[in-house]
Chain A
Amino acid sequence: EPEVTQTPSHQVTQMGQEVILRCVPISNHLYFYWYRQILGQKVEFLVSFYNNEISEKSEIFDDQFSVERPDGSNFTLKIRSTKLEDSAMYFCATTFNLAGSTDTQYFGPGTRLTVL
């Protein structure tokens, strides 16, 4: 069964450094999402991406964050200058979503980001 994959599984970085989290979506999926889960808390929506542009973003997704699909397969989340409070598990999710439908979002295994 096709899966969403994410790399790395764990990233440790110093405050102020840039990090790039990578996701490989399921191949025929059209919508891509990033979510964040601070340890012990709920999963929060960050951004959705469709047709090579951001379709929706949350208040959390400020100017420090960016997303792109550089090569038609990988879907990346970049944090320009990490802060301590960016420490969290970051999940990528993808879905097919034919127009007018709401398909299930399938999640990758997550990247645990630790900012020191």
Chain B
Amino acid sequence: AQKVTQAQTEISVVEKEDVTLDCVYETRDTTYYLFWYKQPPSGELVFLIRRNSFDEQNEISGRYSWNFQKSTSSFNFTITASQVVDSAVYFCALSEAGRAAGNKLTFGGGTRVLVKP
């Protein structure tokens, strides 16, 4: 069975500080995908990134960066120079790859990020 653990339930920072969100996953599959979604106070789920298990290169997109380490089953997310608009709940998720039945997402419990001005 798949499992995603986000040990930090809430992180509070002051604007312009960096914040790193941890995500640890468990799966028996050799091929899988990892995702991060943002859930702002308005409630929708906004896709941030998708990474497959064969691609361990770190990725940067603006102020966001992701560190995928297969050896430790972790896919951590860093927000650099945080802004108030980054305040949200962030979910890490895992799915199997290429199943004919579809690829359901298994979500972690989420980390609430509060950025104070």
Interface residues of A (CB under 8 A from B): 31, 33, 35, 41-45, 48-50, 55-56, 58, 89, 91, 93, 95, 97, 99-102, 104-110, 112
Q: Decide yes or no: A42 and B102 within 8 Å by CB, A102-B96, A107-B44, A109-B44 being known contacts.
A: no
* Structural contact, A97 and B110, CB atoms closer than 8 A: no
* Structural contact, A42 and B91, CB atoms closer than 8 A: yes
- Whether B50 is near chain A, meaning CB under 8 Å from some CB there, is yes
Cross-chain contact of A107 among B45, B95, B103 (Cβ < 8 A): B45
Q: Decide yes or no: A56 and B107 within 8 Å by CB, A106-B47, A107-B44, A110-B44 being known contacts.
A: no
Which residues on the A side are within 8 Å of B52 (C-beta)? Answer: 102
User: In the assembled complex, how far is the CB of residue A53 from the closest CB belonging to chain B, in whole angstroms?
Assistant: 10
Q: How far is the CA of A107 from the CA of B9 in the complex (A)?
A: 23
- Whether B105 is near chain A, meaning CB under 8 Å from some CB there, is yes
Which residues on the A side are within 8 Å of B110 (C-beta)? Answer: 42
Q: How far is the CA of A89 from the CA of B43 in the complex (A)?
A: 9
